[in-house]
A and B are shown apart, each in its own frame.
Chain A
């Protein structure tokens, strides 16, 4: 299982902010994604049609999630009819056991993988290695972070934080290549290694961007063609899908294939769209002899059970919310401490892992709303964050993110705002207290915990000597008198 380091959000994010390479990586490549997205939507659809497509996509997803049992059953039936096998895994460990069992039964030595976020949740590579097999990531970005022993920095651009020099150093260390800063040469080096692996692998593991229930089809969206190799070259193909990946019908895929690449990278279409419906059959000249589809729960049922949080299961993992999030664009993907980052990570991680360990995540947002505006399936991410914050406040000591100082501050605020008299009293007290620390209407250093964070780089406005309400009263008295 992937290690959960959500507790370190604060220190990890501060570290990322001080890392020049990470800050560079969070600049230009992301501007490319966000500008590309805006341009292509404007060119192809315009706001109104795009909005209508998002509405339709949200409706399809929410319909499917409300009837998940039905569609899971249907998908299972169809995959079996096509000659494949279907498995259901409760959690990451269960899913790993299923994969290992299939691999052992087929005498597998080398496993090639195309990109799959759910397999990151499982930490499948570690598991296969511990069983004596060699797993190789074949998506270039995933291959790089596999060598670096890291988790994805971004849902669709897992190694975007690595410079070409860093990649060259990794290749030199692990595959003994000659150092180069020529990106094309670096791609060539990886291609040479991966070609060999494609040829020798006994088993391919893929994810699934969509699973079509009515046909039992796994749909893969990639740019490198590695997905097609993974699902067709080896003897055995295992597709792993989060159970929310279902779409009812094949015709629904068209809409999502318009939304996904545009939202993700600003592309009209990715280089490869692969549809897999089971193993080699009849007169097929290629394709795997065995096909397995594993549906993974791993915390998704907990999202489903909460009527508000359920909406997060609509996610198609495009990464647009990360690209547009001012917080992600400063702290990057690793600070969030698990597999998913950015707004969607802050929403699903506390529910899918352990809320007690992930207390900071629901608060790691300014609630600016940019994520909601770009989400292709219209997940109201700020609302879900607010819901989690509420749950954490209500949830008793262990789930609370707030320190005693913050709770005290909120209690003070609550009491002060209950009535006019309380507010005026607090305001008088505040003016008295600020006297020694304010100059020219500003405070340079707030001495109390929590609020002292403000004055590290910002002056704080002191309360006015004559508050508005006093001036208002004087104004009224004057008018009455004059």
Chain B
């Protein structure tokens, strides 16, 4: 909110919103997911742009809604229309607003985790990196296999905790080896997963959503007019 307002965007939060439906969809509960997706489309359809701070939610809307409504041409058309106006946060800032420097400042070595759906469903990897690199005081230190899955996978993490933990273990090792003290990602699922493990293991690495990083040090009393 702070970042978008700072960039001169008129932001609203439709209070009737709930969920994109991905949890149900990925679990195989298509009818339930379609229900939730219909609600999402009803709530957001009148908006000019929909900005989503999570790669996998954005991919649900942009990539999977049209599949979900494959048998319902009318809903599918509505889904595709809203999909075109839906953007993950960094995609929106860089590709819609045309901004790569939001004016933030933050001290430290930062490493970036490519969330699977953001990277492989939506093809977004340069956008967050350029935003991070333009934060004053930040040095971006790539970890090995930044594009490797963190082992979250929604229900997967609780259905197969041993496998999920083992995959996560590799991720945490790569994060630690990067030497960065801050871990940034643009997906709430991956972040919740990695944050939970970092916290449990007593790691000093601080996980941040990219929106949190970009909000550091910007003066929200003076929106930059574009």
Give the interface of A toward B (CB within 8 A).
10, 13-14, 17, 326-327, 330-331, 360, 362-370, 372-373, 383, 386, 388-394, 402, 406, 410, 413-414, 416-420, 422-423, 442, 444, 450-454, 456-461, 468-469, 472-473
**Contact between chains at B149 and A331 (CB < 8 Å):** no
Q: Pick the contact of B25: A366, A386, A442 (CB < 8 A).
A: A386
Q: Pick the contact of A459: B151, B158, B196 (CB < 8 A).
A: B196
**Contact between chains at A326 and B26 (CB < 8 Å):** no
Shortest C-beta distance, B207 to chain A (Å), equals 11
For the complex, give the distance between the alpha carbons of A418 and B19 in Å. 9
Known: A457-B200, A460-B196. A330 touches B120 (CB 8 A): no
**Contact between chains at A386 and B28 (CB < 8 Å):** yes
Known: A10-B160, A410-B27, A458-B193. A367 touches B18 (CB 8 A): no
Tell me the interface secondary structure of chain B in the complex: helix
Q: Other CB < 8 Å A-B pairs besides A13-B162, A393-B29, 15 of them? A: A14-B163, A360-B160, A363-B160, A365-B156, A366-B156, A368-B153, A370-B120, A386-B26, A389-B28, A393-B30, A406-B159, A418-B39, A422-B18, A453-B158, A457-B197
The 6 closest A-B pairs by CB, nearest first: A366-B153, A389-B28, A458-B196, A453-B161, A369-B120, A393-B28
Interface-located stretch among B9-17, B105-113, B176-184: B9-17
For the complex, give the distance between the alpha carbons of A330 and B149 in Å. 12
Q: How large is the interface on B (under 10, 10 to 19, 20 to 34, 35 or more residues)?
A: 35 or more
Kindly list chain B residues whose C-beta atoms are within 8 Å of the C-beta of A369: 116-117, 120-121
**Contact between chains at A414 and B166 (CB < 8 Å):** no
**Contact between chains at A13 and B163 (CB < 8 Å):** yes
**Contact between chains at B27 and A326 (CB < 8 Å):** no
**Contact between chains at B120 and A326 (CB < 8 Å):** no
Shortest C-beta distance, B141 to chain A (Å), equals 21
For the complex, give the distance between the alpha carbons of A91 and B57 in Å. 43
**Contact between chains at A423 and B18 (CB < 8 Å):** yes
Interface residues of B in 144-187 (CB under 8 A from A): 148-149, 151-168
Nearest B-chain residue to A420, judged by Cβ = B16
**Contact between chains at A454 and B161 (CB < 8 Å):** yes
Shortest C-beta distance, A31 to chain B (Å), equals 10
**Contact between chains at A365 and B28 (CB < 8 Å):** no
Interface residues of B in 93-143 (CB under 8 A from A): 116-117, 120-121
Listed residue (B67, B121, B159) with the most chain A CB atoms within 10 angstroms of its CB: B159
Listed residue (B32, B192, B195) with the most chain A CB atoms within 10 angstroms of its CB: B32
**Contact between chains at A417 and B162 (CB < 8 Å):** no
Tell me the interface secondary structure of chain A in the complex: helix
Known: A17-B162, A386-B26. A414 touches B116 (CB 8 A): no
Nearest A-chain residue to B161, judged by Cβ = A453
Please tell me if B206 contacts chain A, counting CB pairs below 8 Å: no
24 pairs across A/B with beta carbons < 8 Å? A13-B160, A14-B163, A17-B166, A327-B167, A330-B163, A360-B160, A364-B160, A367-B154, A370-B120, A386-B28, A389-B26, A413-B19, A417-B18, A418-B18, A418-B35, A418-B36, A419-B18, A423-B18, A452-B158, A457-B200, A458-B193, A458-B199, A461-B196, A469-B13
Please tell me if B83 contacts chain A, counting CB pairs below 8 Å: no
**Contact between chains at B151 and A420 (CB < 8 Å):** no
For the complex, give the distance between the alpha carbons of A472 and B195 in Å. 25
For the complex, give the distance between the alpha carbons of A469 and B120 in Å. 31
For the complex, give the distance between the alpha carbons of A370 and B150 in Å. 12
Q: Pick the contact of B15: A406, A444, A473 (CB < 8 A).
A: A473
Kindly list chain B residues whose C-beta atoms are within 8 Å of the C-beta of A459: 195-197, 199-200
Kindly list chain B residues whose C-beta atoms are within 8 Å of the C-beta of A390: 28, 30
For the complex, give the distance between the alpha carbons of A402 and B200 in Å. 28
Nearest B-chain residue to A369, judged by Cβ = B120
For the complex, give the distance between the alpha carbons of A422 and B39 in Å. 13
Nearest B-chain residue to A335, judged by Cβ = B163
**Contact between chains at B36 and A366 (CB < 8 Å):** no
Kindly list chain A residues whose C-beta atoms are within 8 Å of the C-beta of B28: 362, 386, 388-394, 402
**Contact between chains at B27 and A402 (CB < 8 Å):** yes
Kindly list chain A residues whose C-beta atoms are within 8 Å of the C-beta of B27: 389, 393, 402, 406, 410
Shortest C-beta distance, A316 to chain B (Å), equals 22
For the complex, give the distance between the alpha carbons of A71 and B17 in Å. 53
For the complex, give the distance between the alpha carbons of A326 and B159 in Å. 16
**Contact between chains at B149 and A370 (CB < 8 Å):** yes
For the complex, give the distance between the alpha carbons of A367 and B30 in Å. 16
Nearest B-chain residue to A441, judged by Cβ = B199
Nearest A-chain residue to B196, judged by Cβ = A458
**Contact between chains at A456 and B165 (CB < 8 Å):** yes
Shortest C-beta distance, A170 to chain B (Å), equals 28
For the complex, give the distance between the alpha carbons of A163 and B82 in Å. 54
Kindly list chain A residues whose C-beta atoms are within 8 Å of the C-beta of B32: 410, 413-414
**Contact between chains at B24 and A413 (CB < 8 Å):** yes
Please tell me if B218 contacts chain A, counting CB pairs below 8 Å: no
Kindly list chain A residues whose C-beta atoms are within 8 Å of the C-beta of B18: 416-420, 422-423
Kindly list chain B residues whose C-beta atoms are within 8 Å of the C-beta of A423: 18-19
**Contact between chains at B159 and A363 (CB < 8 Å):** yes
For the complex, give the distance between the alpha carbons of A452 and B196 in Å. 13
**Contact between chains at A410 and B24 (CB < 8 Å):** yes
Q: Pick the contact of A410: B29, B156, B196 (CB < 8 A).
A: B29
For the complex, give the distance between the alpha carbons of A369 and B117 in Å. 8
Listed residue (B27, B153, B155, B159) with the most chain A CB atoms within 10 angstroms of its CB: B27
**Contact between chains at B157 and A454 (CB < 8 Å):** yes
Shortest C-beta distance, A35 to chain B (Å), equals 11
Kindly list chain B residues whose C-beta atoms are within 8 Å of the C-beta of A457: 161, 165, 168, 197, 200
**Contact between chains at A419 and B16 (CB < 8 Å):** yes
Kindly list chain A residues whose C-beta atoms are within 8 Å of the C-beta of B121: 369
Kindly list chain B residues whose C-beta atoms are within 8 Å of the C-beta of A418: 18, 35-36, 39
Shortest C-beta distance, A168 to chain B (Å), equals 29
Nearest B-chain residue to A414, judged by Cβ = B32
For the complex, give the distance between the alpha carbons of A396 and B94 in Å. 46
Please tell me if B23 contacts chain A, counting CB pairs below 8 Å: yes
Kindly list chain B residues whose C-beta atoms are within 8 Å of the C-beta of A364: 156, 160, 163
Known: A453-B161, A457-B200, A461-B192. A368 touches B29 (CB 8 A): no
**Contact between chains at A417 and B161 (CB < 8 Å):** no
